[in-house]
Amino acid sequence: MDTDGLIDNRNLELWNSLRMVHDIEIRKEKRPDYLAFSKNSKTIISVPFDNVDPASFTHELLRIYLRTKKVFIGGGLTVSIKESEKLSRIFSDNLIDHIGNCLDHI
């Protein structure tokens, strides 16, 4: 697995702890941003070829960490809004995703 330029002293401990409970695959791709996709204990982190950055990589590791702790802030918000007849008429899917993503980042 090619982690050159992605692991540094700030994220090494997190990387090692996640690899003990998760099967993490890194794919360097032609894409504009980082992306992590998880299913069960398997995660694929897509990394832009031209933007190898440990801070952005750590951001995706933190998303995996929240998932391992069963913290789904954005997902919980999405379910709550979609289950509400009134709120689901007010919030578009894009807005719900944006708000959930912001809360996840906080």
Band (2; pLDDT cuts 50, 70, 90): confident
Task: Give φ, ψ of 84 to 5 degrees.
Answer: -95, 120
Pick from 66, 67, 55: which is nearest to 7 by CA? 55
Residue span(s) of the chain under CATH 3.30.160 come to 1-70
Rounded CA gap, 34 and 14, in Å? 17
pLDDT digits over 39-49, tens only?
988 999 999 99
pLDDT digits over 59-84, tens only?
999 999 999 999 989 889 999 999 99
Task: Give φ, ψ of 102 to 5 degrees.
Answer: -60, -45
pLDDT digits over 91-105, tens only?
999 999 899 888 887
- Looking at residues 5-16, what average pLDDT do you find? 95
- Looking at residues 5-11, what average pLDDT do you find? 94
Rounded CA gap, 53 and 7, in Å? 9
The pTM of this model reads 0.81
Please tell me the class of the 1-70 domain.
Answer: alpha beta
The two tokens of residue 1 are 């697995």
